[in-house]
Amino acid sequence: MTEICLELKDIRKGFSDEEEVLKGISLSIGKGEFITLLGSSGCGKTTTLRIIAGLETPDAGRVFLEGKDVTDLNPEDRDVNTVFQNYALFPHMNVADNIGYGLKLKKVPKPEIKKRVAEMLELVQLPGYEKRKPSELSGGQKQRVAIARALINNPRVLLLDEPLGALDLQLRRAMQAELKRLQKKLGITFIYITHDQEEAINMSDRIAVMNHGTFEQIGTPDEIYNHPRTSYVATFVGNANILKGKAERTENGKVTVALAGGRLPVVCEDSVIREGETVTLAVRSENVRIREECTCGLMAKVEEKSFAAGQLRVVLRLSDGSELVASRYGIDAKVEQGQTVSVCFAPEDAVFVDRSGEEKNEQD
């Protein structure tokens, strides 16, 4: 990794009597990196962001910004700016005063503030909007103003808390591209929070998947999507099926796994699997194949068939009662509800997850 910009060391945080929200997380973020904290609501991602911003004090652990310990600094003394979830534009100030607020606090002369605000508005593609009030802006425009207001201060790190959450799908896609463009252009480190795995995969250099106050996996979108380490990551990011089985035979990098209703070979890349070991497999639904005649795979019963977003989704029930979802493009009339079919997947399409002994929380 290049130069480290921000470093979290064993951060812990709990609120009153509840369970700890953050259970000792550590993370190093490189300069100019676009990193996404991905997780469902309540996983601690917003708390992490607030601790970096200084709006929350950790119970334990340190925060380093460019090597300097900033854990005890007030938010106003950190070279970090935030784009809030609901934008938090000051309703009593116009767009120019909102954007220029940070510079005004730094006592930058007025003409220069005016010039830089105009430049910022140009950058976020809202030229000439200086005199508008936040209440006169659309959601997307407010978003741009909030980004401009943070970026004008030239922060070391920009924190974005689900900034696109309130926008409709089309606008969200456009803003994703624009944020990425801004980040490339300015070279500022972005820490982005979302619960939308698509957004995370589209935009990030690295993704940190959070669950119950810990990092499940930190890695590139490719690593997270194709090589999930835990069943949580596999289901959250890839909508994968989780299958429990037993490793029977290992040879030539392939492991034969006994699953409910049959045996299937699985490619084993790096993990060392011992024979007889209980294993967990993650298989994404689009990789599950259904065959009517052949008996080579797992025997399953078709429980439900539905069609949505151009995909046929078939819910199958395995002999041990567990559920398996298969999806594919186009309508397949051959599969009928109640029918018993054979299900299989290619050896390279299954991934071993939840391997104990492997490091779960840290990488790099």
| Contact residues: other proteins, CB under 8 A | 53-55, 74-76, 80-82, 84-92, 101-102, 105-106, 133-135, 142, 149-150, 153, 166
Q: How far is 9 from 24, CA to CA, in rounded Å?
A: 8
The answer to whether residues 4 and 175 touch, using CB atoms and an 8 Å cutoff, is no
* Pick 153 or 231: Cβ nearer other proteins: 153
Least distance between other proteins and beta carbon 186 (Å)? 17
b (16+ CB within 10 A) / e for 126-148: beebbebebeebeebbbbbbbbb
Q: Which CB atom, from 56 or from 349, has the smaller least distance to other proteins?
A: 56
Report helix, strand or coil for 123: helix
Question: Nearer to other proteins by C-beta: 82 or 197?
Answer: 82
User: Are 108 and 154 in contact, with CB atoms under 8 Å apart?
Assistant: no
CB of 102 to other proteins, least distance (A): 4
As beta bridge partners, residue 215 has 210
Q: Min. distance of Cβ 169 from other proteins in angstroms?
A: 19
Give 152 or 344: the residue with its C-beta nearer to other proteins: 152
Min separation Cβ 53 and other proteins, Å: 6
Least Å distance, CB 15 to other proteins, is 10
Measured from the CB of residue 120, what is the shortest distance to other proteins in angstroms? 13
Of residues 87 and 129, the one with the C-beta less far from other proteins = 87
Cβ proximity to other proteins, 1 vs 105, nearer residue: 105
Query: Residue 192 Cβ, how far from other proteins at the closest point, in Å?
Result: 16
Nearer CB in complex with other proteins: 21/209:
21
